[in-house]
């Protein structure tokens, strides 16, 4: 499972049972309760607490992975967990009437297309790293959700959350197009 590299003291690329992957698994497990809290309570401190843990664990698992060795499983599971958290929370916020359905669907469509494309590239042995702008896109998505679930801000600053969500939509599609172009470039390079 978790094969440690003797030379580096870290994990090899094929390792599965790693501390970083354990944090990613925690994000998968805590997302359904997060969605349930949003659906039941709407903007609330319990939602903020769980959402803060989910965001912090994403940062920490990236930090741990860089120190102990990135793995193919982590490269696949980490972005999948991000999508699970974001799409689930956006869906819950749409259901509660906090967000309009259109930006949520636009974000979801981008994430589904890129996930399918990433899987196709992975089968060919091609891995495209996330760009700096893609990390900003994720931050914009997290910020929009964060503003929407924060009780003191929700009634007065929901407009800010909605504006940030539209920024996230633009960044989502922009980075998606970049990812497709970079994937094609790397795919052709690998085939040559």
- CA angle, residues 132, 84, 144, in degrees to nearest 5: 60
Question: Top-level CATH class of 19-191?
Answer: mainly alpha
Rounded Cα distance, 130 and 5, in Å:
25
Q: Chain centroid to CA 42: how far?
A: 21
Full pLDDT tens readout for the chain, 192 residues: 444 443 345 755 555 567 777 888 889 999 999 999 999 998 999 999 999 999 888 888 778 777 776 666 666 778 888 889 999 999 999 999 999 999 999 999 999 998 888 888 878 877 777 788 988 998 999 999 999 998 876 566 788 899 999 999 999 999 999 989 988 887 766 554
Contact (CB, 8 A) for 79 and 41: no
| pTM of the full structure | 0.82
Domain ranges in the chain are: 19-191
State pLDDT tens for residues 44-92: 999 999 999 998 888 887 787 777 766 666 667 788 888 899 999 999 9
């Amino acid at each position: 499972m978790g094969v440690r590299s003797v030379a580096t003291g870290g994990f090899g690329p094929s390792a599965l049972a790693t501390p970083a992957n354990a944090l990613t698994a925690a994000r998968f497990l805590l997302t359904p309760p997060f969605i349930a809290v949003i659906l039941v309570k709407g903007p609330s401190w319990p939602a903020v607490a769980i959402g803060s843990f989910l965001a912090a664990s994403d940062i920490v698992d990236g930090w741990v992975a860089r120190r102990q060795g990135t793995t193919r499983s982590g490269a696949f599971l980490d972005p999948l967990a991000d999508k699970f958290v974001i799409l689930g929370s956006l869906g819950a916020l749409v259901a509660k009437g906090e967000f309009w359905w259109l930006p949520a669907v636009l974000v979801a469509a981008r994430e589904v297309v890129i996930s399918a494309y990433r899987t196709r590239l992975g089968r060919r042995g091609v891995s495209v790293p996330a760009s700096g702008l893609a990390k900003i896109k994720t931050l914009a998505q997290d910020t929009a959700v964060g503003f929407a679930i924060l009780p003191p801000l929700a009634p007065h600053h929901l407009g800010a959350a909605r504006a940030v969500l539209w920024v996230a939509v633009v960044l989502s599609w922009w980075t998606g197009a970049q990812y497709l172009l970079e994937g094609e470039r790397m795919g052709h390079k690998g085939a040559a």
